[in-house]
Amino acid sequence: MLEVIPLPALRDNYIWLIHDGRHAVAVDPGEAGPILSWLEARHMPLAAILVTHHHADHVGGVAELVSAHACPVYAPGTLDLGTNTRPVADGAQIVLEQPALRLTVLAVPGHTRDHLAYYGHGHLFCGDTLFSCGCGRLFEGTAEQMLRSLQRLAALPDETLICCAHEYTLANIAFARTVDPDNPELKAWAAEAGRLRSVGRPTLPVQLARERRVNPFLRCDKAAIQAAVRRRSGLEPGDETQTFAALRAMKDHFNP
């Protein structure tokens, strides 16, 4: 049996650990300390590292972890993170024996040009592409690329658990409620997420089926979201991509 847990790191990052009680895999290790402490306490080796993209808060701990555990690092082909780097691209299969793990690599450009996600065992490790009630900023890619990437992720099975890399949920909900104020499921998620954070618990992972109903960036085809964009931005978006671009720009300038 595999277990997936988020380890808090840096200011608001999560490093995801996948383990079977004997071997572990780390996703997006922005720093090494939390992982090394967790592994040492359980006398567990690190079998592999998965990297979604090149930003420092996702790769900052890679070198120290590889030095300590000599494990392979699966990463976009544009990255060279040392001699143990194993470049992967869209459609690749990552298969490990310990822990018994099979993940499909998905190219999801938008936040960065080379951003990857990893999907398998009912979990989606999507870095900074999809957040609960939000999505990543467009640092290198285009609105069209990001929208296509989000649509690709949204097409995964309903029960998929979204394991993103930041605890941004409350801030994202605050923005989502300004453009989708009459959504009862969004109101319910706001209350639930607030309770979780009030006792120090993560809001993640979240189920994709609900995310499709509460995340405005997955609902750019909905009349309510398009009307909110027209009302708040003064723009008249002509299609779903323009709606998404306007919505992302509004979020960029939003102060909760």
- The pLDDT value recorded for residue 239 is 87
Predicted local distance difference test score (pLDDT) of residue 83: 78
The structural domain count of the chain equals: 1
Residue 160 buriedness (CB in 10 A; 0-12 / 13-18 / 19+): buried
83/45: higher pLDDT: 45
For residue 256, pLDDT over 80 is answered with no
Q: Tell me: pLDDT of 244 over 90.
A: yes
Other residues' Cβ atoms within 10 Å of the Cβ of residue 201: 10
Tokens of 168: 């941004």
pLDDT tens readout for residues 125-182: 999 999 999 999 999 999 999 999 999 999 999 999 999 999 999 999 999 999 999 9
Residue 123's DSSP bridge partners are 120, 161
Tell me what pLDDT residue 255 has.
82
| Strand runs labelled E in the chain | 3-9, 13-19, 24-27, 46-50, 73-76, 85-88, 93-96, 101-107, 116-120, 123-127, 130-131, 134-135, 161-164, 206-207
Provide the whole-model pTM.
0.96
Share of the chain above pLDDT 90, in %: 92
Structure tokens at 72: 């392979």
Tokens of 120: 């398998």
Read off the pLDDT of residues 188-225 as tens digits, 9 standing for 90 and up: 999 999 999 999 999 999 999 999 999 999 999 999 99
| CA dist., res. 108 & res. 235, Å (int) | 27
Instruction: List, in order, residues 6 or more apart from 103 with CB less than 8 Å away.
Output: 50, 93, 94, 118, 119, 120, 121, 125
Rounded CA-CA distance 47/73 in Å is 9
Q: Is the pLDDT score of 236 beyond 90?
A: no
User: Which pLDDT band, with edges at 50, 70 and 90, does 120 fall under?
Assistant: very high
CATH at 44:
3.60.15.10
pLDDT at position 232: 82
User: Quick one: 161 exposed, middle or buried, by C-beta within 10 A (0-12, 13-18, 19+)?
Assistant: middle
Residue 124 belongs to domain spanning: 3-252
Greater model confidence, 91 or 234: 91
The pLDDT of 87-95, averaged and rounded, is 98
Mean pLDDT to the nearest integer, 82-100: 95
10 Å CB burial of residue 214 (0-12, 13-18, 19+) is buried
Q: How confident is the model at residue 44, as a pLDDT?
A: 98
Residue 237 has pLDDT above 80, yes or no: no
How much is the mean pLDDT over the chain? 96
Provide mean pLDDT across the span 25-54. Answer: 98
d(CA 149, CA 128): 12
